[in-house]
Amino acid sequence: MPTPQRTRIQTLLTAETTDDAPNPVTVSGWVKTVRSSGGVAFVQINDGSSLADLQIVVDANCPDYPLVDRLTTGCSLTAIGVLRESPGRGQRYEVAADSLTLLGDADPEEYPLQKKRHTLEFLRELAHLRPRTNTFGAVARVRNAMAFGIHQFFQQRGFLYVQTPIITASDAEGAGAMFRATTLDLNDLPTQGGQVDNNADFFGRPAFLTVSGQLEAEIFSQAMSDVYTFGPTFRAENSNTSRHLAEFWMVEPEVAFCDLDGLAQLAEDFLRSIFAHVLDNCSEDMAFFNRFYDKELITTLEDIANSDFERMTYTEAVNALQASGESFEFPVQWGSDLQSEHERYLTERKVGRPVIVTDYPSAIKAFYMRLNSRAPGDQGETVRAMDVLVPRIGEIIGGSQREERLDVLQTRMAEAGLDDAPYWWYLDLRRYGTTPHAGFGLGFERTVQFATGMQNIRDIIAFPRTPRSAEF
Ligand code: 4AD
Ligand code: MG
C-alpha cells in the first residue's frame, strides 16, 4: 500500500482556512494525551513541526473507534480525516478522524515520558526521548533556525563557507586542551627508545581533534578574503559548568584587510541580526521560552537587536571592576584573566547590555593575536583581542586581529613556548603577501542558550559530551 501524502501539523495549524488543507487530510505523530468523554475521544498528537499539538477527534461512528483504548502517551499513529474549526477551547482547528492506524504502541507501564512535567536533569538521562518534549522540541527548532540565520547572514555579505579539518596535528589555541585521535592499541603501545612510537600511529605523528578551525580559516582568508566556518570543535578541559561542553559547535568568520574595529562591528551586526532572525522566525517557541524559562527573554533580545553594544578596553574593565565595590570570589588586578563573575558584572550590572572588551594583556591570550604598540602609561603588553560578553552567559564570542608580522609572530610563539616547526604553513602566510586580518569564534551552543533563556548548555546540544559523560 503506498503511503498517503502526510501533511505537517504546523502547515495545518497555520492554514488561512480549512479549505486550504487537503480533504481528506493525512496526519501522523506521537500521542501526547488522550481523553474520552461521552463516546468521543480527543487525542493530542505532535510531529515536531510546531510546539502546538493537533487535536484528533474520534467519535463512535469512526470504524477505528475501538483502537482508542490502546492509544497511550508516546504511541505513534496516522489519522485520516477532515480539518475543521474546533468548537473546543485551546485550538483553532482539529481533525475529525475517518480512520486511525496505530503504528507503534508505548507501554504506559514502561514509557518514561508521562504527562507530568519532568525535570531537565531527569530528561538529560533520556536524550533519546527528550526531543519529544515541548522544551526540547522548541530548542531543536530554535537551534535549527539560528544555524540557518547564521549561514544567511554570511552568505548575504558574500562570505565563503569553508570546511576545516576535524582531525589536526596543530594546536590552534596553543593551550593544549586537545583530545588525542589515535589508532594505536593502548594496551600494547609500540615503543621506540622507551617512548611511544608515534611513527607507528595512523598519521605517522600525533594527531588530535581540533579546538578551532581558525588557522585553516586564516589560510582561506588569505586567498578568498571573507570566509567563515561552522563546525564541531573539541576541548578536553575538565570544566563542569553550565556553559562548557567538551564537544561544541563554533562559527568562525575570518576577514582579510580588516582590523579589530572592523571585526567588532561585524560581531555586533552579526549578533543583532541572528537575534532578530530568531524573534522573526520562531515566535511560537520564543513565546514558550519567555513564559516558562525567562519572563524577560523577548524584551532582552529585542533590546539587543535594536541597540548598540558597549565597547571598553580590558584596562577600563579592570578599573570598573575595582571601583565597583563588589566582593568577587576572584580578586581583579591588571594582568589577571576575567572570570565569569567579572564578565557578568560588566555586562549585567555595569552596562546592562552586551559589551565588547578589547585589548587584553598579551600574557593571557593566544599567540596569534596582534601585539599592540606599547603606549606610555600602559601597564603591560596588550594584544588586539576582543571578547563579546552578554548577560547571564558572559563570553559568547572570542576573537582578535591576527599578528601578520612574521618576526613579531615568531617572537610571540617562542615566548609562548611553541615550537614553530609544525606551524610552518601558518608562518608562510606571513611570508607571502601578508595582510592585516581578523576573525572571531562564536560559541553556537552559548548563543542558543542565550536566545532561549535555558540555564544549562547540556540542554542545548542534543547529545552533550562533558567530563565522564558520553552516553547516546
Ligand atoms: O575564545 P575561544 O577559545 O576562541 C577560539 O577558539 C578562537 N580560535 C576563535 C577565533 O578567533 N576564530 O572560543 C570561541 C568561543 C567562546 O567565546 C565561547 O563562546 C565558545 O567558543 N566556547 C565554548 N562553548 C562551549 N563549551 C566550551 N568548552 C567552549 N569553549 C569556548
Ligand atoms: Mg575565549
Q: Give the model confidence (pLDDT) of 327-380 as tens digits.
A: 999 999 999 999 999 999 999 999 999 999 999 999 999 999 999 998 777 788
* pLDDT interval class at 3 (50, 70, 90): low
* pLDDT interval class at 2 (50, 70, 90): low
Q: Centre a 10 Å sphere on the Cβ of residue 411 and count the other Cβ atoms it contains.
A: 14
pLDDT at 176 over 90: no
Q: What is the mean pLDDT of residues 33-54?
A: 95
Q: State if residue 361 touches ligand 1 by the CB under 6 angstroms criterion.
A: no
Distance 396 CA to ligand 1 centre (A): 8
The CA radius of gyration of the chain, in Å to the nearest whole number, is: 27
Q: Centre a 10 Å sphere on the Cβ of residue 281 and count the other Cβ atoms it contains.
A: 16
Q: What is the mean pLDDT of residues 158-183?
A: 93
Q: How far apart are CA 245 and CA 454, in angstroms?
A: 15
Q: State if residue 464 touches ligand 1 by the CB under 6 angstroms criterion.
A: no
- Give per-residue burial for 293-318: e unless 16+ CB within 10 Å, then b: ebeebbebbeebbeeebbebebbebb
Task: Please tell me the chain's helix, strand, coil percentages from 3-state DSSP, rounded to the nearest 5.
Answer: 35, 25, 40
Q: How far apart are CA 448 and CA 151, in angstroms?
A: 15
pLDDT (0 to 100) of residue 146: 98
Is the distance from CB of 205 to CB of 235 less than 8 angstroms?
no
Q: State if residue 430 touches ligand 1 by the CB under 6 angstroms criterion.
A: no
Q: State if residue 354 touches ligand 1 by the CB under 6 angstroms criterion.
A: no
Strands annotated E in 121-240: 160-161, 167-168, 191-192, 195-196, 208-209, 226-234
Q: How far apart are CA 243 and CA 346, in angstroms?
A: 18
pLDDT at 456 over 70: yes
Is the distance from CB of 143 to CB of 460 less than 8 angstroms?
yes
Q: State if residue 143 touches ligand 1 by the CB under 6 angstroms criterion.
A: no
Domains and CATH numbers, the chain: 9-113 (2.40.50.140), 132-176+211-459 (3.30.930.10)
Q: State if residue 404 touches ligand 1 by the CB under 6 angstroms criterion.
A: no
pLDDT (0 to 100) of residue 469: 93
Q: How far apart are CA 137 and CA 51, in angstroms?
A: 7
pTM (predicted TM-score): 0.96
Q: How buried is 177 (Cβ within 10 angstroms: 0-12 exposed, 13-18 middle, 19+ buried)?
A: middle
Among 395, 449, 465, 466, name the best residue to mutate to test ligand 1's pocket (greatest count of ligand atoms within 8 A of Cβ): 395
Q: What is the mean pLDDT of residues 183-199?
A: 95
Beta bridge partners of 227: 160, 254
Q: How far is CA 153 from the centre of its chain?
A: 16
Which ligand lies nearest the alpha carbon of 449? Answer: 1
DSSP single-letter state for residue 73: T
- The residue nearest atom 25 of ligand 1, judged by CA position, is 244
The rounded percent of the chain whose pLDDT value lies above 70 is 99
pLDDT (0 to 100) of residue 288: 98
Q: What is the mean pLDDT of residues 228-244?
A: 95
Is the distance from CB of 99 to CB of 62 less than 8 angstroms?
yes
Distance 441 CA to ligand 2 centre (A): 8
Q: How far apart are CA 120 and CA 457, in angstroms?
A: 11
Is the distance from CB of 145 to CB of 281 less than 8 angstroms?
yes
Distance 387 CA to ligand 2 centre (A): 7
- The residue nearest atom 3 of ligand 1, judged by CA position, is 398
- The residue nearest atom 20 of ligand 1, judged by CA position, is 443
Which residues fall within 8 angstroms of residue 260, CB to CB, at 6 or more apart? 358, 370, 384, 386, 400, 401, 438
Q: Give the model confidence (pLDDT) of 213-223 as tens digits.
A: 999 999 999 99
Nearest to 227 by CA among 152, 144, 146, 157: 157
Cell numbers representing residue 242 in the block: 553550565
Which ligand lies nearest the alpha carbon of 442? Answer: 1
pLDDT (0 to 100) of residue 173: 85
Cell numbers representing residue 418 in the block: 611553541
pLDDT (0 to 100) of residue 88: 86
Distance 41 CA to ligand 1 centre (A): 51
Q: State if residue 247 touches ligand 1 by the CB under 6 angstroms criterion.
A: no
Q: State if residue 253 touches ligand 1 by the CB under 6 angstroms criterion.
A: no
Q: Is 263 helix (H, G, I), strand (E, B) or coil?
A: helix
Q: Give the model confidence (pLDDT) of 377-417 as tens digits.
A: 778 899 999 999 999 999 999 999 999 999 999 999 999 99
Q: State if residue 397 touches ligand 1 by the CB under 6 angstroms criterion.
A: yes
pLDDT at 250 over 70: yes
Arithmetic mean of pLDDT over the chain: 95
Q: State if residue 440 touches ligand 1 by the CB under 6 angstroms criterion.
A: yes
Q: Give the model confidence (pLDDT) of 290-331 as tens digits.
A: 999 999 999 999 999 999 999 999 999 999 999 999 999 999
Distance 398 CA to ligand 1 centre (A): 6
pLDDT at 21 over 70: yes
Beta bridge partners of 28: 78
Nearest to 27 by CA among 80, 84, 104: 80
